[in-house]
Structure 1
């Protein structure tokens, strides 16, 4: 590359020029990745087609809730290392390593992934390149996408440039995304040449120096790592939820059972919490996309397994609705139900495919007077389910309620005073702990009728 097409940039401790970075797509993944790369000392430009999003990020404002990210974003912007633009050509001319972080939503009418945004990002970058570059996919895609994109990039990139493609899947947990980006538990890179491998080792130099494993592999394996991880977690969650149904029938306690299973080093305790099940923007769409792709490839045993996992997960929502109906004597018509939680998990305002909102909406459709409260997801919930009623506090949500549902395990709900809340409800109120997160004995002693999922407590 030449000075004319590659302006000077900072150097690392070995006096080698640091690669400049672009991040295409500044949603949850992209905004976090861009801010973290700036925090690691790189010059970064984030690209998005949404001018309002670019304007907000440029002002240091995160358009969603993620602990620790606002501070990271402000430091990056104020330092001058991080900026945002809608101009893809500008980013293509600026950076040496381009991370594609656009969404891969579920296609309408299909379980398959919609790859239009990924395809547009790679093609747009490639055709605007002015110097040698490494294009890196971070979006979660069906296996085989990387090879197809690599071929397309070679077709549209200007002649004479060294342009390569690799895949570097993300493993972010919402609520812990900053930590997971700055201190990942592994860095997986697929399809990189020695040159691309070296560039990505420079990008991840700090976490690698702190002991993070670097796993180099081929494109298909790298593409499968993320969806396989999500599929395994989903399977684990659905397994314990299926066992919780047995516990309900047999009078066993699934929480104690999970603790006992968790001591087995082959199994582990994480993701063995019986409850309302998984949701969000990743696990549901990813297991369905994997199911779809596995069917295309003829791997039918995985299709059957993922089908069962998905059905068990969706049944948990109906199970909680049925519990609420039963607690109201067979009908929720004109009964008041307080719903505590709207986000699909705590420490986020993400309500995509939220089990909590799905249950709240299901009860609303059955004629219940539903009041929802979530400490962070109120606004996002209103945009998705405007017909529901939303409170501004736990107390407002439970006032005059016949049944209270705990659907997201926020600390404010786990630590609430059950005696104080009982005084706000109608006589004989029931609490349905759909996350098995409350101290059951404390709530019972306060006078509540307590029900959990698979919890003989």
Structure 2
């Protein structure tokens, strides 16, 4: 029986959503972990057991791993460089100002700050989503700074917000972008507990590993936008996109996952990643290969303005003074992330047309208020829908999906609802006297307005 390899000491650079999750989960797996960030407020909060964002289950796991003594947080790069044998870089790659390209300042800084301080053999592993070719460039920079003692690998992340702990501890695959057998072995040692569970590994070159994440996100965005493009056709022809999607889902070449019509995708990954992918393809001279991603993006954005149209069809055409209860602000349920959130974009568009918009989200109200302070915010579902002329479902939180239409009907001024996510029980709402509209679905013929 082969002896289990010694556990390498781990550092995680960046303690945002990805970094904090990686650090906590690696410590939970039994590794000694030091997580470093330049933000002392964030570091102090995490060291005290407080997450600066919402992610189900991660808060409990943070407290538990801190208690083991295997996890600590610091602002000291020198401390991290001296401690770690495998360094995971998990900093953000936001969209550049005035461009679709990714802003790589934080990635570059993390690699250079580490490389300048590392004094022995080590592996720096990029997990951030970057344009293809970044790893090779960084490998050259690190080799120059360290005399070849430090190698670079790429290990893309595939976290779904709301399921980050599960996706880290029980991933569907691991991708190792490496340039040597030694780097591969270091990653195998770092992920030994997962490999023992049989998690599949794809060992690839650096460029392929970089492409996996953006290719996966591009495919997912395309599938979501495809069914929403069909929703546009359904709206023009009187067909029902929900029935169309159901029929397509039985085809095992297509499948039903993410073939769900509605308001579309948002968040801090899909929109920026497909735009950065297009920008990088243009730099590589192959922009024609991903031209379709521009239309994918545009289809997604059009769903937002079409949702406003549905509100206008119910309560307009003039929306001045119309009270709208906007249920949801986060880009998806079980998250407080409002980056490029379709929900907030729709609320803002309604506000700009003069509607009186009241937003309620179980977890994202504070972040939404920081992004759009001009909107009004409620502390509960009941407060949000009180005296509403139109109720608008924008994020499919369980609280909203399970709410009784009979109970809400007592509170609203008019029983009108726009289901932006296709998540509600249509027949129950109509039976309770609601006028129901959804993207890609025909209005009920002869429905009486309450």
Q: Please state which band the TM-score falls in when normalised by the shorter chain.
A: over 0.9
Deviation at 1:15, TM superposition (A): 5.8
Kindly indicate whether the alpha-carbon contact (under 8 Å) linking 2:6 and 2:189 is maintained by their aligned counterparts in 1. Answer: no
Task: Report whether the alignment pairs 1:24 with 2:13.
Answer: yes
Q: Deviations for 1:159-206, whole angstroms, at most 9, x for unmatched residues?
A: 4x6311000000000000000000110000112411111111111112
Deviation at 1:454, TM superposition (A): 1.2
| Alignment length (residue pairs) | 442
Deviation at 1:67, TM superposition (A): 0.4
Task: Report whether the alignment pairs 1:166 with 2:157.
Answer: no
Deviation at 1:123, TM superposition (A): 0.5
Distance across 1 between alignment mates of 2:64 and 2:184: 29
Q: Which residue of 2 aligns with 1:324?
A: 311
Look up the SS of the partner of 1:423 in the other structure.
helix
Distance across 1 between alignment mates of 2:11 and 2:179: 18
Distance across 2 between alignment mates of 1:153 and 1:108: 27
Deviation at 1:131, TM superposition (A): 1.8
What is the TM-score normalised by the length of structure 2? Answer: 0.96
Q: Which residue of 2 aligns with 1:141?
A: 130
Q: Which residue of 2 aligns with 1:5?
A: none
Distance across 1 between alignment mates of 2:120 and 2:45: 30
Task: Report whether the alignment pairs 1:379 with 2:366.
Answer: yes
Look up the SS of the partner of 1:89 in the other structure.
helix
Kindly indicate whether the alpha-carbon contact (under 8 Å) linking 1:45 and 1:84 is maintained by their aligned counterparts in 2. Answer: yes
Q: Which residue of 2 aligns with 1:43?
A: 32
Distance across 1 between alignment mates of 2:7 and 2:150: 18
Task: Report whether the alignment pairs 1:55 with 2:44.
Answer: yes
Which of 416, 419, 423 does residue 433 from structure 1 map onto?
419
User: Compared with structure 1, are the counterparts of its residues 167 and 412 closer, same or farther at alpha carbon in structure 2 (3 Å cutoff)?
Assistant: same
Look up the SS of the partner of 2:99 in the other structure.
coil
Distance across 2 between alignment mates of 1:448 and 1:16: 63
Distance across 1 between alignment mates of 2:173 and 2:430: 44
Which of 181, 198, 202 does residue 185 from structure 2 map onto?
198
Q: Which residue of 2 aligns with 1:452?
A: 438
- Name segments (4+ residues, structure 1) moved above 6 Å: none
Which of 107, 115, 127 does residue 96 from structure 2 map onto?
107
Task: Report whether the alignment pairs 1:212 with 2:199.
Answer: yes
Deviation at 1:324, TM superposition (A): 1.1
What is the TM-score normalised by the length of structure 1? Answer: 0.95
Unaligned runs of 5+ in 2: 445-450
Q: Which residue of 1 aligns with 2:429?
A: 443
Q: Deviations for 1:342-378, whole angstroms, at most 9, x for unmatched residues?
A: 0000010000000000000111111111000011111
Task: Report whether the alignment pairs 1:389 with 2:376.
Answer: yes
Kindly indicate whether the alpha-carbon contact (under 8 Å) linking 2:143 and 2:149 is maintained by their aligned counterparts in 1. Answer: no
Q: Deviations for 1:32-73, whole angstroms, at most 9, x for unmatched residues?
A: 000000000000000100000000000111110000101111
Kindly indicate whether the alpha-carbon contact (under 8 Å) linking 2:335 and 2:364 is maintained by their aligned counterparts in 1. Answer: yes
Distance across 1 between alignment mates of 2:96 and 2:289: 20
Kindly indicate whether the alpha-carbon contact (under 8 Å) linking 1:292 and 1:303 is maintained by their aligned counterparts in 2. Answer: no
Task: Report whether the alignment pairs 1:333 with 2:320.
Answer: yes
Q: Which residue of 1 aligns with 2:357?
A: 370
Task: Report whether the alignment pairs 1:76 with 2:65.
Answer: yes
User: Compared with structure 1, are the counterparts of its residues 15 and 440 closer, same or farther at alpha carbon in structure 2 (3 Å cutoff)?
Assistant: closer
Deviation at 1:297, TM superposition (A): 1.1
Distance across 2 between alignment mates of 1:192 and 1:408: 43
Distance across 2 between alignment mates of 1:35 and 1:364: 40
User: Compared with structure 1, are the counterparts of its residues 15 and 410 closer, same or farther at alpha carbon in structure 2 (3 Å cutoff)?
Assistant: closer
Which of 115, 119, 123 does residue 126 from structure 1 map onto?
115
Distance across 2 between alignment mates of 1:302 and 1:29: 30
Matches within 5 A, 1:255-270: 255-270=242-257
Distance across 1 between alignment mates of 2:119 and 2:4: 24
Distance across 2 between alignment mates of 1:263 and 1:204: 37
Matches within 5 A, 1:237-386: 237-386=224-373
User: Compared with structure 1, are the counterparts of its residues 245 and 16 closer, same or farther at alpha carbon in structure 2 (3 Å cutoff)?
Assistant: closer
Kindly indicate whether the alpha-carbon contact (under 8 Å) linking 1:291 and 1:306 is maintained by their aligned counterparts in 2. Answer: yes
Q: Which residue of 1 aligns with 2:448?
A: none
